[in-house]
Amino acid sequence: VENGAQVLDFNFDADLIDGQLAMGRFMRSCVTEPAIARVPFMIDSSKFKVIEEGLQAVQGRCIVNSLSLKVGEEDFIFHAKLVRKYGAALVCMAFDEEGQAATFDDKIRICERTYDILTTKCGYMGHDIIFDCNILTIATGMEEHNNYGKDFIDAVEVVRRKCPGCYTSGGLSNLSFSFRGLNELREAMHSVFLYHAIPKGLTMAIVNAGALPIYTDIPDDMRQLLEDVVMNVAPEATEKLLEFASELKEKKAQKGGAGGAAKAVEEWRTQGVEKRLEHSLVKGIDKYIVDDVQECLDDLQLKPLEVIEGPLMAGMSVVGDLFGSGRMFLPQVIKSARVMKKAVAHLVPIMEIENRRKALEEGLDPDRPNWAGTVLLATVKGDVHDIGKNIVGVVLGCNNFRVIDLGVMVPCDQILKKAKEEEADVIGLSGLITPSLDEMVFVAQQMRKEGMHVPLLIGGATTSRKHTAVKIWPQYEASEKVESTGAVPVGGVVHVLDASRSVVVVNSLIQSAEKRIEYMEDIKEEYDTLREDYYSTLVDKRWLSLDEARKMRYTIDFAKYPPPSAPERLGNKYLDAYPLDELVNYIDWTPFFQVYQLRGRYPNKDYPKIFNDKRVGEEAKKLFDDAQELLATVVREKWITATAVVGVYRAFSSGDDIKVLSPDDSGEVIETFYGM
């Protein structure tokens, strides 16, 4: 409010909280604060029960964000009438039963239809209606997204004219998501967009009120590039802005050290071929990719599949890390995927020749397409958002996966039916709104009910690792069963953070049964920890009295168990100057590496596979060699002596204490360990 916000938007659609309860509590708190309550409240949720809870808690006139025709006309009218009953204005999204309005024509068509329903069937006046015509992400590297900004700006002008009295709005952060991590550029893009949209009829926007530079204060070169991208005036506008963003990011990192960058450009081609492939993928350079891939085949004697699963996948993993930490932008990820596609395209014909030969030898069809695997993607029922899913499809397609995209608002039965028909290797579910989380849980339950074995991927803005671990994994938990052919992996759910990670995850899931089981064991371990941590926060920690605690102690009925084996001898056994070279063989090296913050990634997580990890393997091997050298010196020069005492005694419990008996048959108590 102090920074100039004219409306406060409240949203509690988080994955693991009770949104209805939180909305009511917070609204009742806010209305008691005059400094806050002096501006209108926007009650924002994808669940109508949460919206109604907020409306019941707030005096005065609110704004509801949002309703749309995606639920069907009957439900839309019912909810819209309730909103009007509470005296609130209404934000309507440009969605209908067919999905999200992305083009200019769809935005106009849906907004006109919505306006007609609200004014003729629900009793709304024009000034009660706010249309969100969907600000979508531009400059993604995908040509079909280039006109999203201009289409929105043109649409608000027509909507204001055709729907008298209405207002228009939009969420600005969507526009610049491609450049996540570079706030200076994102904020400037928002200002340029508003500069064009406001005169055309944009009356409000969801924006950080304290982070909007003045249009005329934006540097000329940046402003011109942003103008070209927002208004889509040239096909090369995205590429130019991406170059500018990369330079801006580099200047910030190096504080103007351009000489170092030039030197790096000259030197990267002198590195080993695996490093060169990584550099090409990260930088989106396809000039040398075919030559470098061929060098892997010729000089390293790698098979085509080994090149894909080895250096190329390692490079894509680096891309995922950089994008996840905000050091790469979405268009760069798309460029990386296209470089990967070019590399795979060079390898596929070589693999096809070998596969044809094998197929002919085995009497199979040699012309069957040689896909890396089949991935089925869908935005779940009730959700119309698909941009993220579409990008995942592009990235996977560039990596030689057969992608079957079912579109948006896909019911569970259609997903499972198509997965069976197409023999999908992996199913990917996407969702942006909170109700999608419940639908994902339902799909997982149905997959288990039908005895499916296909891994399930979860992605989208509203999803999280924690929610996947707590709510979805238990419904479709990974396991294995033993058949005549060996262990067969069953089920399993993996949360995928973004498109750049999808290739590495899918590739891990379509490998051999043994590797997939190993990968899922790592996921299970991680999710078990997340689940335990989450549930531990929900436990009502109440101190017990001493008597209550004693009543809960564990008791053993020894009569139910076979008698324990008697030890060879009772009493103490002394180990004096035990050979150090024998003890060295029992060292668990994995915690040793973890102490030094060296953690490998699947399938190179633990010792000794950590040495194969592209990220930390080299450093881990150096550390290990140093440790071995030090250990050899310790053993050779006898710096330390290993001496131990092992005692085996009869004992029994007495109240809170443990009584230890003499090794002879006297029954004498020689020691007491006190529990209190």
Catalytic residues: 383, 385, 436
DSSP lists the bridge partners of residue 206 as 171
643: part of which helix (H) or strand (E)?
A: strand 642-648
Residue 247's CB: how many other CB atoms inside 10 A?
12
Q: By the 8 A CB rule, do 44 and 88 touch? A: no
Residue 134 CA to residue 100 CA, distance in Å, equals: 8
546: part of which helix (H) or strand (E)?
A: helix 546-551
CA angle 263/264/268 to nearest 5° reads 125
Q: What is the separation of C-alpha 570 from the centre of its chain, rounded to a whole number of angstroms?
A: 56
Helices in 366-434 by DSSP H: which ranges? 387-397, 412-421
Q: By the 8 A CB rule, do 117 and 165 touch? A: no
Q: By the 8 A CB rule, do 395 and 500 touch? A: yes
DSSP-assigned letters across all residues of 279-333: HHHHHT--SSHHHHHHHHHHTS---HHHHIIIIIHHHHHHHHHHHHTTSS-HHHH
Residue 420 CA to residue 302 CA, distance in Å, equals: 34
Query: Which positions ≥6 away from 571 have C-beta within 8 Å?
Result: 647, 648, 649, 663
DSSP-assigned letters across all residues of 227-287: HHHHTT--TTHHHHHHHHHHHHHHHHHHTS-HHHHHHHHHHGGGS-HHHHHHHHHHHT--S
